[in-house]
Amino acid sequence: MRFLFILLCFFLVSTPALIGQNGGRSVFPVLQFAPSARVTGLGGTLITVSDGDLSLAAINPALLDSQMHQALTFNHRFHPGGIGYSHFAYSHHTQRSGMTWQFGIQHAGYGEFEGLDEFQNPLGPVNASETALYFGMSTPLYERLTIGANLRVVNSVMGSYTSWGLAGDVGAWYHSDEDRLSIGLVFRNAGTQLTTYVPGNRESMPLDIQLGLSQRLKYLPFRFSVTATNLQRWNLVFDNPNAVENTPLFGDEEDPSGQSAFGRQVDNFFRHLIFSGEFLFGQNENLRLRVAYNHLRRQELTVRDLRSLTGFSLGFGIKLARFRVGFGHEFFHLAGGATHFTFSTSFREFRQSR
């Protein structure tokens, strides 16, 4: 069983979808939504912490462990414009194999639109939505190292156009309890379109290679994390064709935003990074406060010359008896952001309380 699992991980990592992801748009945005309020409050991703939170395994399946036996999580995320995203997952640990399994459903509803033809004649209402079903598992390789994989089947419906796809995540998680340190690596959404919206027009998958580190402080109930995203692609700077170029007579060449060539590379470097922190209060860490900063989001969505919290996110989590409730909010733009709610529990805790 373990050999077959490692073979599956190798197959997903070696898929041709890893090649040539250097630009352009990708399909199936439902695969990129934050799976829980905790992840939303921590900037959009967290691949380095395994503490019984099942929703984190939707990003890095290596975080699955025996603590999540018979765990359940329900999530809903509200976007501007009536867009909604829901996520449900359940996990089970088998002692005989030492593996932990999960099953999940992700659904994004993009609302109803008024359909028009090329002559602007009304065609009636048009609906758009995407749904992904996934199955995942993890197994420890050594005492401090765990690997895991998720496999997803995703369907997209855009009016009369439909598409099916197959995507997988492969992750690894290393932790040192004495050093309070954990490191995560994950290849997200590697795969391909099985059927396309238009015959002959195959689009790229939203591949995202991430590497993260989390450090729990010794004398303060605080854990900070740094996650590098989009490692498969160096240049994340968007070139605005409508911007007016500024070419100085002397010194470094400047781009339309006024940055020097060196400043542009520094800006591009930080676009890969998400900085987040989590305060853990109480003997059992029943209250958690979260904050994060996503530089890529701020640079892409901020309105020049107007102050805003674009790029920042915050949230909290509370454990009440056998239930966990979470709230997260991401500041996208002056026009609005995304609000996320999570409700989690475990069948195992109910049985133990009897």
pLDDT in tens, 300-332: 888 888 888 999 999 999 998 889 999 999 998
Phi/psi for 347 (5° steps) reads -65, -30
Pick the residue with more confidence: 345 or 123?
Answer: 345
Looking at residues 258-268, what average pLDDT do you find?
A: 83
Q: Which of 94-98, 116-120, 186-190, 225-229 is predicted with the least confidence, judged by mean pLDDT?
A: 116-120
Residues 6+ apart with CB under 8 A from 314: 41, 289, 290, 291, 292, 328, 329
Q: What is the pLDDT of residue 124?
A: 83
Looking at residues 126-143, what average pLDDT do you find?
A: 95
Q: How far apart are CA 64 and CA 49, in angstroms?
A: 10
Query: Is this structure's pTM higher than 0.85?
Result: yes
Q: How far apart are CA 305 and CA 71, in angstroms?
A: 46
Q: What is the pLDDT of residue 226?
A: 98
Tokens of 302: 């901020």
Phi/psi for 18 (5° steps) reads -75, -10
Looking at residues 257-284, what average pLDDT do you find?
A: 89
Q: For the chain, give every domain's residue range.
A: 2-35+46-72+88-236+272-277
Task: With beta carbons less than 8 A apart as the criterion, state whether 258 and 28 touch.
Answer: no
- How do residues 100-109 score in pLDDT, each as one tens digit? 999 999 999 9
- How do residues 213-230 score in pLDDT, each as one tens digit? 999 999 999 999 999 999
What value does the mean pLDDT of the chain take?
87
Looking at residues 27-47, what average pLDDT do you find?
A: 96
Pick the residue with more confidence: 140 or 252?
Answer: 140
